[in-house]
Amino acid sequence: MNKQYFGTDGIRGRVGDALINPDFCLRLGWSAGRTLAAEGRRPLVILGKDTRNSGYMLESALEAGFSAAGVDVALLGPIPTPAVAYLTRTMRADLGVVVTASHNPFDDNGVKFFDGEANKLSDSMELSIESELDTALSSISASELGQVFRVDDARGRYVEFCKRTIDTKMRFDGLHVVVDCANGAGYAVAPRVFRELGADVVAISVNPDGSNINRNCGSTHPEFLGEKVVELSADVGIALDGDADRVIMIDSEGEIVDGDELIYVIALSMQMRGRLSGGVVGTEMSNGGLHAAFKDLGIPFERASVGDRHVVELLRDRGWELGGESSGHIVCLNWANTGDGIVSALQVLSEMVKQDRSLADLKSGMTKLPQELINVHVEDPEAALTHANVVHAVSEVEQRLGNDGRVLVRASGTEPLLRVMVEGGSYTDVRRYVEKIANVASTLGNNRART
């Protein structure tokens, strides 16, 4: 069966559209609650959110739906997505739910789900929830309604978890760090984690007002953090996205260090210390330079489809632990079952301190191949992907690249975008070819944006 509502990472869209509105979220909470209650005991749901003002509206609707289905709800308030996953598992809850649109613009929102083991929901579970959405909404009796309560120490619990992912005696004394929290869910947590470990922290984009999440800040706009790192002569910059499950870093020269390079640094550290189990999983978007660097190190490398869910599936299939995406989703199954921006950054900072080396030095063993990505806004990404003009343009570029490069064009699973990526031997060729395909695709939409 094809899913009608769930995408690659929960349900996401523009606030006020057919899905991201109070009525649908009320029914979604009720349907998910009914699915859980069918297992025969009183379920518990953990519910968090990012800092969008629409989160209050959608949180309330979900809460009402769960309660009407007889499900207890623990409210966390604004908190990173990986914190919800962690608390779902440690509080022995049946479901974790986050109201967030992650790195998307402020006027989007969505709902992410985790099962009781902090995994993304299975296809069968998502289909079960969708089937309940077609049932007329009702409420159980007043005496059986779900109870709602707040978890006052949720952030503190997560801070301690983050710190436990590195050596217990590790401190970052003398390390000058700039943390960009994207005015998002990590604003009250991330600076605290690094400060408690001894770092000299300057925190920026930590004043969410309900509408400034991801706006010219965070992992989608790391160039601004780069300027700040240089201005302050800091050792490193850390850029999270709106729900803090992604991280992009900045070296002391102000250069952007993306997810591929961070995965390289972490994998090399794990290999040196005998902690790397098997190989590493990337995605179709992972830079060819990462594959080449791992080949030199004798580390197996495989590509999954884009999305941390697919990365985790392939890791488990291979019995490996470390994987991630260029965008900064980094997963190590030793720490958690989902991407965690703060935890990933901690592993890199720890290695900088252990070896007394800069981030630029640590990543120097990997040379990225010229690669360019352009996002093209289109009405129907799936239709654009198979449009004859786009298919023809892709074929022409692939013929010109031959064996010296590759092309990847895919429909975004979270936004109305066609993502066009070209990788090759020279920046001049890559830029020309990616522009060629993007120009063709842009006739089907507008507002092209390079990332």
**In angstroms, how far is CA 245 from the centroid of its own chain?**
4
Q: Helices in 329-445 by DSSP H: which ranges? A: 341-355, 359-362, 381-385, 388-401, 427-442
Spell out a b/e string for 412-432, using b for 16 or more CB atoms within 10 Å of the CB, else e.
Answer: bbbbbbbbbbbbbeeeebbbe
> What DSSP character marks residue 79?
-
Nearest residue to 377 via CA among 428, 418, 330, 343:
418
In degrees and rounded to multiples of 5, residue 381 shows phi and psi of: -60, -40
Is the separation of the CB atoms in 19 and 11 below 8 Å?
Answer: yes
Radius of gyration (C-alpha) of the chain in whole angstroms: 22
The structure tokens listed for 138 are 């009702």
Max Cα-Cα span within the chain: 69
List, as one string, the DSSP characters of 232-284: HT-SEEEEE-TTSS-EEEE-TTS-EE-HHHHHHHHHHHHHHTT---S-EEEET
Q: For residue 259, give the amino acid letter.
A: G
**381 and 411 Cβ atoms separated by less than 8 Å:** yes
- In sequence order, the β-bridge partners of residue 410 are 419
Residues 67, 102, 412, 442: which is the catalytic one?
Answer: 102
**What is the Cα–Cα distance from 75 to 60, expressed in whole angstroms?**
10
Helical ranges in 142-200 per DSSP H: 154-163, 190-196
* 102 catalytic per annotation: yes
Q: How far is CA 426 from CA 371, 422, 429, 450, in A?
A: 9, 11, 5, 18
Which residues are paired to 149 by β-bridges?
A: 74
Contact, 250 vs 225, CB < 8 A? yes
Q: Which residues are catalytic?
A: 102
